[in-house]
A and B are shown apart, each in its own frame.
Chain A
Amino acid sequence: MTQNLFIYAIMAPLLAALPVNLMARSYRPWAGTVAVGALIFSAVTSTVVLADVLKNGTIRYTLGNWPVPFGMELIVDPLGAMMLVVVSVCALFAISSAIRSASDEMPGQEHLFFTLALIMITGLMGLVVSADAFNIYVLLEITAITCYGLIAMGRGRAPLASFNYVIMGTIGACFYLLGIGYLYILTGSLNMPDIAGIIPGLDAPAAVATSFAFLMVGLWIKMGFFPLHGWLPNAYTYAPSATSVLMAPLMTKVSVFLMIRVMFFLYTPEYAFDHPDVQQLIIWAAALAIVVASSFALAQTEFKKMLAYVVVAEVGYMVGGVWLANSTGLTGAILHIVNDALMTLVMFLAASAVIYKVGASRFSDFAGLYRKMPITMAAFTLGAFALIGVPPTCGFFSKWYLILGGIEAGQFSYVAALVVSSLVNAVIFFRIIEIAFFQKPEGEDVLRRAEAPLPILAPLVVGAIALIVVGLFSGQIVGGLIAPALPWSF
């Protein structure tokens, strides 16, 4: 029973997608309820699976009992199970907020939104447990194609942003597919553990290196790693609030997780870090990503766009952390996947609440919000503290490991970039806090309390509290989950 429990977690959103689309044509309020129900099931089941994996060890599951390497294999190791929980919980919160924000921003299209969103969530959950390199390609495309649709449902420049993403995303997918193609020609297998066993015996260094480079570039485009991030800011900004709440915490983070998977489980750490020059170059790129994206964030006047650049900077944090090539940095990167998912979730939920009540999320729209929406703004403030890295919020602890890893590796440009980015985050968020605290909205003399409705507010509050709880228990997360799962130890 527990062996295949996780399959139910992954399939629940997919199975719900069909009735959501059909039933909700006649009665729309059903769409959100069914979707949330399916995701509650997924979230609870994923948590059970995580507990089970931690107790009884990794689950290896072959679909349809076809033997490996011909059949498709799913591997739920502790990290994969952790990601299942992250994806399902974030998705649950995002979909809950979509109940109200989708009907506000996309009236008449809610059922389409929920259908695409549920398929995308299935794709994301499949990605984190798949042990088949080609399956990962398929699932990447499933999530990407649904995302194109979800973004294009927005108003104004959304279709253009989506089109940009289609082109960039497809290029990324091509790189990934080519990488897999090289590997398949070399090894004749698509099963990741199987390939990992064959690669060391191969005598084709150039071909293996090419496949590695293609896979990396493909994933970097997907995660928006500077300078391949061009599609990301507009896509996140112009998408409907419900879409950005769903995408921003999950897409980039799952791609980073896939990069870790490919580097350490398809190849070996020794192989990935074989060339110090390459490693150095990528860390410099990460440092540059952090600094440049932070300065772009500094130049924005629209909250969602600013957050999008913050996300690009955070991708730099994680890629840099992985490529520091020591266990502290990798610990920080993995911990940051969890923390950053939570932080971006809270911030985009806050944006969603503000857009729902005020109509837009330019900085000037925040005027007087500490009086009008005190609960939303309290959660926003906590989220800002987490992104700045104020203890005991979770953002501090992953940053701690990342900086410490940078010091251990002697990569001071990366350390400096992290410190600068914390300071920039302090500036950009306090600018909004100041507007919300000091300015009065034009034309309103008396400020009445007007919070967003419960489906948006509840996940926001729970997420904000989770920022502190996860922070306080980061010792347990690192000690019990991440440290034992690291692929190597120095």
Chain B
Amino acid sequence: MNAGRGQMKLGAFLWATGHHIAAWRHPQAHVTAGIDIDHYIQLARTAEAAKFDMIFCEDAAGVREANVNIASQTSRSIGFEPISLLAALAVQTELIGLVSTASTSYNEPYGLARTFLSLDHLSGGRAGWNLVTSASQIEAANFGSTGLRPHADRYERAREFAAVVAGLWRGQGGYEDRSFSVRDPLDLPRSPQGAPVMVQAGASDEGRDLAARTADVVFTAAQTFEEAKAFYDDLKGRLAAHGRKPDDIKIMPGVAPVVAASEAEARAKHDELQELIPDDVGVALLSSYLSISDLSRYPIDGPLPQLPASEGMQSRQALVIEQSRRDNLSIRQLARHFAGARGHWRVVGTPAQIADELEARFEGGAADGFNVMPSYFPGELDAFATLVVPELQRRGLFRTDYEGSTLRDHLGLKRPA
């Protein structure tokens, strides 16, 4: 048994055919995932059998890629809308938490609070909301003609939005502020877990400040131990100012594992996926993460050009630029690297090697747990569940059974008053 920081939390991040951009082309990937509910029910049951804290779904209210020729070479333009997906999974599982992303830019707090509370009732207290402010122009074009709001405005709205939702979940009504007005309390009974869990993913300064005020869980991207540790310490350090304790928030960076019985097999598996990425797809994906319309006009084997500050994902952009400088990568190399894990921490190796890496970040105080991003489904979720989870359990780093019945129970979070 470990004598250190207790046990880590694990999320199973379900996305399309897999987190690797070329996942859908893998011979063992379930290519019709986006239209097959039974596939998702099976994934949810796999994650539940492995005692994951939660299933996590990200979301965008639009297709992912504006260039239709690029988009048509990936599987991410179609899929289930996550709230309906999780509502279906809620009654096909018993204990695992169900977290979906939803945007504060393209919803109203009353409707969002009510929908997640309904999901919470359907699941017996296992729902969570991952707050995002939405940074893509593609989404903005589906909601009016004014275009994307500036970063600071989005966060101003998000702060108000989160406060209204938290109040509604506590049974309050009667709000009138800059962005929203809500007259009545919700017309549904109180949540079985006090309130659905609040998750947040933005890592900019405004994002961290909002997380420190309202989030129960923070999902983040960090490549190195030092980045992860710096983020962790910064965010936990901001809690006191809001009257909160370090343990009130669980920080769960993403991890993109590629696991096999031997290291050589794991590397071969990873190389096989990387080979399936077309160059134009990789470069386009990198461009969209950097909020640059066209990186393809720069030499693919040359370095990343100087980039202007973006209104999109500021923290993500900084991460990409830092990595390209650190590792002296060409656009092609960076594109492949990012297309694979989307800027998240990738670990390739045996179950013991992956457990070592996770343990080091967890025991080193750089994470409370991890959001696991399998490269393709169902194979790589199965591999993590059957190879890595037992290794973590053997080391006492992960639960062998659920401690309670709600998502708050699993995460060790207080029930709100």
Do A and B pair up? The answer is no
